[in-house]
Structure 1
Amino acid sequence: MKRLFSITLFLSLLLICSSLGFAQQQPENVIFILSDDHRYDYMGFHPDSPDFLETPAMDRMAAEGAHLANAFVSTSLCSPSRASILTGQYPFRHQVVDNSNAMPEGTPLVSQALQQAGYQTGYFGKWHIGNETADPQPGFDKWVSFRGQGVYYNPTLNIDGEEGNYEGYVTDLLTDYTIEWLDEIDRDQPFFAYLSHKAVHAEFEPAERHEGMYADAELEFPQSMKYIEENYEGKPDWVKEQRFSWHGVDYMYHNRDDHPQSLEEIITRYSESLSAVDESIARVINYLEEEGLAEETLVIYMGDNGFMLGEHGLIDKRQAYEESMRVPLLAWAPGFIEPGTVIEENIMNIDMTPTFLDIAGGSMPEGHTVDGESFLPFLAGETINDWRTAFVYQYFWEDAFPQTPTTYAIRGDRYKYIYYHGLWDKNEFYDLETDPNEMHNLINAPEHQERIRQMKNRMFDIFEENGATDVKFRRPSPFRADEKLIHED
Structure 2
Amino acid sequence: MNAFKIFTIIGISFFMVGGINANSGLNEETGPAVQKKKPRNVIFILTDDHRYDYMGFTGKVPWLETPNMDKLASEGAYLPNAFVTTSLCSPSRASILTGQFSHSHTIVDNQAPDPGNLTYFPEYLQKAGYQTGFFGKWHMGDHGDEPQPGFTHWESFPGQGVYYNPTLNINGKRIAYKDSTYITDLLTEHAVDWMKNRDKKKPFFLYLSHKAVHAGFQPARRHKGRYKGKRIALPATYDQTKTGKYRELKWPQWVADQRISWHGVDYMYHENRDIHEMVVDYCETLLGVDESVGTVMEYLKEEGLDESTLVIYMGDNGFSWGEHGLIDKRHFYEESVKVPLLVRCPELFEGGKTPKQMVQNIDIGPTVLAEAGVKQPEHMPGVSFIPILTGDATAPSRKEVFYEYFWEYDFPMTPTVFGMRTDKYKYMKYQGIWDRNELYDLENDPEEMYNLIADPDKQDVAKSMSAAIYDWLERTNGMNIPLKRTVKYRYGDFKHKNEH
TM-score by length of 2: 0.88
Distance of 2:247 and 2:186 partners within structure 1: 44
SS state of the match for residue 57, structure 1? helix
Superposition map of 1:153-172 within 5 A: 153-167=164-178, 168-172=181-185
| 2:295 corresponds to 1:283 | yes
> What is the aligned counterpart of 1:254 among 250, 260, 270?
270
2:232 matched residue in structure 1: 219
| 2:239 corresponds to 1:228 | no
Distance of 1:141 and 1:310 partners within structure 2: 42
1:26–1:418 distance in 2 versus 1, CA, 3 Å: farther
Distance of 2:121 and 2:483 partners within structure 1: 28
SS state of the match for residue 224, structure 1? coil
Distance of 2:172 and 2:369 partners within structure 1: 27
1:448–1:86 distance in 2 versus 1, CA, 3 Å: same
2:193 matched residue in structure 1: 180
| 2:164 corresponds to 1:150 | no
Distance of 1:297 and 1:50 partners within structure 2: 30
2:223 matched residue in structure 1: 210
Q: Deviations over 1:9-39 (max 9, x none)?
A: xxxxxxxxxxxxxxxx997100000000001
1:378–1:262 distance in 2 versus 1, CA, 3 Å: same
> What is the aligned counterpart of 1:307 among 302, 305, 319?
319
Distance of 2:491 and 2:289 partners within structure 1: 27
Measure how far apart 1:386 and its partner are.
4.3
1:347 matched residue in structure 2: 359
1:229–1:153 distance in 2 versus 1, CA, 3 Å: same
Distance of 1:229 and 1:414 partners within structure 2: 28
1:479–1:172 distance in 2 versus 1, CA, 3 Å: farther
1:139 matched residue in structure 2: 150
Deviating more after overlay: 112-121 vs 144-153 = 112-121
Measure how far apart 1:476 and its partner are.
2.9
Deviating more after overlay: 373-382 vs 241-250 = 373-382
Would you say the 8 A contact 2:112–2:486 is kept in 1? no
Distance of 1:335 and 1:472 partners within structure 2: 43
Structure 2 counterpart of 1:468, one-letter code? G
| 2:254 corresponds to 1:238 | yes
Deviating more after overlay: 324-333 vs 226-235 = 226-235
Distance of 2:361 and 2:214 partners within structure 1: 18
Deviating more after overlay: 469-478 vs 318-327 = 469-478
Task: Return 5+ residue gaps in structure 1 as ranges.
Answer: 1-24
Distance of 2:295 and 2:38 partners within structure 1: 22
1:248–1:444 distance in 2 versus 1, CA, 3 Å: same
TM-score by length of 1: 0.90
Aligned-residue identity in percent: 51
Distance of 2:495 and 2:252 partners within structure 1: 31
1:480–1:72 distance in 2 versus 1, CA, 3 Å: farther
> What is the aligned counterpart of 1:101 among 87, 108, 112?
112
Measure how far apart 1:153 and its partner are.
0.2
Measure how far apart 1:265 and its partner are.
1.9
1:454 matched residue in structure 2: 464
> What is the aligned counterpart of 2:58 among 46, 62, 74?
46
SS state of the match for residue 294, structure 1? coil
1:278–1:480 distance in 2 versus 1, CA, 3 Å: farther
2:93 matched residue in structure 1: 82
Distance of 1:398 and 1:126 partners within structure 2: 21
Would you say the 8 A contact 1:113–1:364 is kept in 2? no
2:72 matched residue in structure 1: 61
Structure 2 counterpart of 1:475, one-letter code? R
Q: Deviations over 1:66-123 (max 9, x none)?
A: 1111000000000010011111111111111111112221311111100111111000
1:262–1:61 distance in 2 versus 1, CA, 3 Å: same
Distance of 1:327 and 1:476 partners within structure 2: 29
2:7 matched residue in structure 1: none
Would you say the 8 A contact 2:230–2:276 is kept in 1? no
SS state of the match for residue 135, structure 2? strand
Deviating more after overlay: 260-269 vs 185-194 = 260-269
1:307–1:480 distance in 2 versus 1, CA, 3 Å: farther
SS state of the match for residue 318, structure 1? coil
> What is the aligned counterpart of 2:211 among 187, 195, 198?
198
Superposition map of 1:411-426 within 5 A: 411-426=421-436
Structure 2 counterpart of 1:135, one-letter code? E
2:415 matched residue in structure 1: 405
Measure how far apart 1:379 and its partner are.
2.5
Task: Return 5+ residue gaps in structure 2 as ranges.
Answer: 1-36
Measure how far apart 1:228 and its partner are.
2.3
Deviating more after overlay: 436-445 vs 475-484 = 475-484
Q: Deviations over 1:287-324 (max 9, x none)?
A: 10011111221110000000111111111100000000
Superposition map of 1:355-370 within 5 A: 355-363=367-375, 369-370=379-380
Measure how far apart 1:458 and its partner are.
0.8
Distance of 1:143 and 1:353 partners within structure 2: 19
